[in-house]
Amino acid sequence: MKAYIIKRLFHSIFVLIGISIVVFIILHLTGDPAALLMPMDATPEQVAQFRQEMGFNDPLIVQYWRFFKGTLRGDFGQSFRHNQPALSLVLERMPATIQLTLAALAIALIIAIPVGIISAIKRNSLLDHLGMTGALLGQSTPVFWLGVMLILIFSVILQWFPSSGRGGIENLVLPAITLGMYSMARTARMMRSSMLEVLGQEYMKTAKAKGLSPQMVILKHALKNASIPVVTIVGMELGTLLGGAVITETIFAWPGVGRLAVQAIYNRDYPVVQAAVFILASIFVLVNLLVDIIYTYLDPRVKLG
């Protein structure tokens, strides 16, 4: 177990280094980061001077090493727009994104898990068909359209919820549903197939043969085993949610990291873009590391290695 965790840890560090390389490369894709970072109306002399100052004339590997050392210290440079270190700007917005992501995940799981279980138990019933049709619809709806339609119905027509900004719980409802819909649909389908698999196992027959009531069989035996894959789903969905937050935050003017990153891209504020992408990707890596470790405790059959 310990060896597995250490191996997994090294693996994560490797992925983090890979992420830092990609984030570094983004800025160098055009071949001339100085031209990208300077204002459009800068004179060639100004660009050349800036290039010299920033060390863009050094070999790429030297520049990457400098960037990498900066990353370790949490130094992504100053934001051009906000005159503030890029990292602190990203960290300031982090609580909003975490709140939205967790709310979306909670909504997704609270609805998806019962729907998946009921669909599996009442296989091929009307409930099952309804649930799975809903899930398919949820998986086919683009996040940005769902957000816009929820605003149209619940903010413009019914005026139940505000259409933008962050504040009380009423501000959280629409963005969380929007962001959580895709994960909800996918989790419901996975929960259903996981449950169906468990229901076909021998120990389910044993439990029934022992004379346990159907409710007890479902609750004590089926549910416990069927919920193991859900832990992995949570890890995977968190990545989807963090990515989806970029669009959801833009639609609802939610002051999180995703919206900050999109605005930074439009403003060509690349230190902030780099910091945001790096931090979001790192969170995803860490969550998955955690999920894998929890998983080995939950399911000892997992092959270690």
- Which residue ranges make up the site for other proteins (CB under 8 A)? 11, 14-15, 18-19, 22, 26-27, 29-30, 36, 136-137, 139-145, 148-149, 151-152, 156, 190, 193, 239, 242-247, 250-251, 258, 261-262, 265-266, 268, 273, 276-277, 280-281, 284-285, 288
Q: In this structure, which amino acid lies at residue 253?
A: A
Minimum CB–partner distance for residue 287 and other proteins (Å): 10
| DSSP 8-state symbol, 160 | -
Other C-beta atoms lying within 10 Å of the C-beta of residue 128: 17
Nearest to other proteins of 54, 212 (CB atom): 54
| SS3 labels along 246-269 | HHHHHHCCCCCHHHHHHHHHHCCC
Nearest to other proteins of 19, 89 (CB atom): 19
Minimum CB–partner distance for residue 244 and other proteins (Å): 8
Minimum CB–partner distance for residue 265 and other proteins (Å): 4
Minimum CB–partner distance for residue 18 and other proteins (Å): 3
Nearest to other proteins of 207, 292 (CB atom): 292
For 97-116, letters b (16+ CB in 10 Å) and e give: bebbbebbbebbbebbbebb
Nearest to other proteins of 15, 91 (CB atom): 15
DSSP string, 39-99: -TT--HHHHHHHHHHHTTTS-HHHHHHHHHHHHHTT---B-TTTSSBHHHHHHHHHHHHHH
Count of residues making up the chain: 305
Minimum CB–partner distance for residue 20 and other proteins (Å): 10
Nearest to other proteins of 142, 214 (CB atom): 142
3-state secondary structure of 301: coil
Nearest to other proteins of 15, 127 (CB atom): 15
Is the dihedral angle over the CA atoms 265, 268, 272, 277 positive or is it negative?
positive
Minimum CB–partner distance for residue 206 and other proteins (Å): 26
